[in-house]
Amino acid sequence: MGRLKLAVLAIAVVALSGCSPVDNSDVKRLALPVAGSDRSQTMWELWLGAWIAVLVIFLLVFGLIVYAMVRYRRRSDDEIPAQIRYNLPLEALYTFAPVIIVAVFFFHTVTSQNDMLAKVKSPDHVVQVVGSKWQWAFSYTKEKATAGTDVFDSGTPQDPAELWLPVGESVRFNLKSPDVIHSFWVPEFYFKMDVVPGKVNTFDLSPSREGVFTGRCAELCGLYHSRMIFKVHVVARDEYDAHLTKLKNAGQIGTPKGADEADKIAGLGKAGDVAGTQGNGGGK
């Protein structure tokens, strides 16, 4: 039995050893998108470990089923085996084994979560993220390209917002909502975080490759939740600075508080104080 377990484990490890979060093959990425941040490796290792564990358990259980079918199949001269009420060692096995598996998963999940949420001592950039029904707004604070003037990108469900980030430089995201719970999610970052009214959630990461990605709200937030998307442009630093300068020249200055219609669409008839104003960067 020990040899069988080792063989199953070896098969699982060999089968998954060629997988990578940056491979061009969807199969070798285990259905994840191509990794796009410095925090992706931690989540990838957790994902890969889960696949290995699942594959080991599947091969072991399936192997035992086939073995029992072949080894103990009924023959014409077989007598009915002795009938027993229970098998204490077997019941102990299928009681404690799942507890051990869940405990191992829990340990590695907490460890990965701590690594994902580790703070950068002095991030290169700070972006204020406002999620409101049903759009996003992003404010770039104290940037050299704008001489310290805060500028913003914003959008609507018809014209989604754009988030611009410099590749290879650390960014701190401060997440706020004026209305309901949203969730900031860029699949290529292997990470999402809730945007909660009355609370500022933060996380740090460094984009690791250039490209244009699609971000989404991952929390059901109302009628137009499915249209609450945004584009993420990860570019070289000079292109990033040029974009911020363009925002400043266009008059998109200030820190967004949220869409004026955040409360109106909810059926309240008029905007409340929490919705913010367009005058200081509430939207386009």
Q: Are residues 35 and 95 in the same domain?
A: yes
Choose the final residue of a domain: 80, 97, 116. 116
Whether 73 shows a pLDDT value over 50: the answer reads yes
Among 217, 216, 228, residue whose Cα is nearest residue 259: 228
Distance CA 185, CA 203 (A): 12
CA contacts within 13 A on the Cβ side of 266: 19
Say what the pLDDT of residue 15 is: 55
Centroid of chain to Cα 129: 16
Are 191 and 213 contained in the same domain?
A: yes
Q: Kindly report, residue by residue over 189-241, the tens digit of the pLDDT.
A: 998 999 998 889 999 999 999 999 999 999 998 888 999 999 999 999 999 99
Same-domain status, 270 and 136: yes
Domain that residue 87 falls in: 2-116
Residue 125 structure tokens: 């950039």
Q: Is the pTM of this model over 0.75?
A: yes
DSSP structure string for 48-72: HHHHHHHHHHHHHHHHHHHHHHHHT
Q: Give me the mean pLDDT over the 102-121 stretch.
A: 91
| pLDDT score of 281 | 41
Percent of the chain scoring above 70 in pLDDT? 80
Strands 201-205 and 191-195: unpaired
- H or E element, residue 172: strand 171-176
Residues 140 and 276 in one domain: yes
Domain with residue 264: its CATH number is 2.60.40.420
Number of domains into which the chain is organized: 2
